[in-house]
Amino acid sequence: PRDSAVPAMENTTEVSAFFLLGLTAAPELQGPLFALLLMVYLITLIGNLVMILVILLDPRLHRPMYVFLSNLSLVDFCYSSTVTPKVLSGLLTDDKLSSYIACAAQMFFFVHSGTAENSLLATMAYDRFVAVCRPLHYPMIMTRNACIRLALGSYISSFLTAAIDVGDTFCLPFCVNNVVHHFFCDIPAVMSLACPDKHMNELILIFISSFHIIFSLGVILTSYLVIFITISRMHSEKGIKKALSTCASHLTAVSLFYGTATIMYLQPSSSHSMDKDKILSVFYTMVIPMLNPMVYSLRNKEVKSAFMRVVVQ
């Protein structure tokens, strides 16, 4: 039997709102979860904003690598802000309703931010490839215009992907119920509520997700394969350490992002476990955006030095 406290819309062809089950239904866990996620969110906002400001204010960091890093911080800021405030509101007030438009908008900005991060990580790998393998040609290849085109390309492709994914999901009628077994309007969770045959829509989603992930991973893996071949041929220990240090932070961020994204999206909806999806989603929507600034600041001497200069001034 359905809990009477959970609003549902049975046997209808239109849904005007969705009910998000949230992270937990246990009242005793909502307070501690709110405090924990609020702390994570504040660290995320402060860490990414500080990263952006440090790069903007220090002329020594006005280089392609840090231009892309500031864009990555901006995307992480938006990524987390798309999901976390609604989750915090649900834990604090128990208001878990999301209008049809609000759900579609959240899904759009979430997909947009995630796809932009995916593209930016590939762009940063290419930048590291040029820096390590073509150091003499680096200024000619990674010009200001080239950086602008690469960054804009990431945002434009992510906008188109988000538009297609949201359209692909919300073109389906939701005629079973409006209860989303998730804490935000993620595509697999919302699409599972559609009542007709959604096999083609799932295939479109898997194809688009696979294309972006495989293409970006292809760029990253190819770049690092050539980088490691180049490093193996170096005779200078100092040169090897310098080359590895420029790649270590990016490799850490790539491992965190693609590990969860691959598990989450490159599988049909029938293979999804809602509880497992929630745990993975907390990690990549809230934890990874918090960790990225730490990864890049703690492992990068130039960022740490720039931060100290900005603070002292």
Q: Do the domain assignments include residue 176?
A: yes
Two structure tokens written together for 81: 């802000």
Query: In this structure, what CATH number is given to the domain that contains residue 290?
Result: 1.20.1070.10
Two structure tokens written together for 71: 């864009």
Q: Do the domain assignments include residue 148?
A: yes
Please give the Cα distance from 46 to 55 (Å, whole number). 14
Given CA atoms 287, 288, 294, 298 in this order, what sign does their dihedral have? positive
**Range in 63-77, 119-133, 234-248, 262-276 with the lowest mean pLDDT:** 262-276
> What range does the domain containing 181 cover?
17-312
Looking at mean pLDDT, say which of 89-98, 221-230, 257-266 comes out highest. Answer: 221-230
Q: Do the domain assignments include residue 4?
A: no
Q: Give the type of residue at 28.
A: E
Q: Do the domain assignments include residue 67?
A: yes
Q: Do the domain assignments include residue 10?
A: no
The pLDDT, as a whole number, for residue 267 is 57
Two structure tokens written together for 311: 């603070």
Two structure tokens written together for 136: 């003499």
Contact assessment for residue 243 and residue 230, using Cβ atoms and an 8 Å cutoff: yes
Give per-residue pLDDT as tens, 145-195: 999 999 999 999 999 999 999 998 988 888 767 888 888 998 888 888 887
The beta strands (E) that lie in the chain are given as 17-20, 97-99, 179-180
> Considering only CA atoms, which of 111, 159, 77, 131 is closest in space to residue 250?
131
β-partners of residue 98 are: 18
CA 15 to chain centre: 28
The pLDDT, as a whole number, for residue 276 is 65
Q: Do the domain assignments include residue 118?
A: yes
Contact assessment for residue 262 and residue 210, using Cβ atoms and an 8 Å cutoff: no
What is the SS3 string spanning 67-104? HHHHHHHHHHHHHHHHHHHHHHHHHHHCCCEEEHHHHH
Count of CB atoms within 10 A of residue 93's CB? 8
- With cut-offs at 50, 70 and 90, classify the pLDDT of residue 265: low
Contacts 24+ apart (CB under 8 A), 214-221: 215/122, 216/118, 216/119, 216/121, 216/122, 217/122, 217/258, 219/122, 219/125, 219/126, 220/121, 220/122, 220/125, 220/254
Q: Exposed, middle or buried, 139 (CB in 10 Å: 0-12/13-18/19+)?
A: exposed
> Considering only CA atoms, which of 246, 247, 219, 262 is closest in space to residue 114?
262
- Give the mean model confidence (pLDDT) for residues 14-22: 81
123 or 192, greater pLDDT? 123
Q: Do the domain assignments include residue 90?
A: yes
Q: Do the domain assignments include residue 141?
A: yes
Two structure tokens written together for 250: 């990016």
Confidence check: pLDDT of 12 > 60: no
Total structural domains within the chain: 1
The pTM is what? Answer: 0.84
The pLDDT, as a whole number, for residue 3 is 46
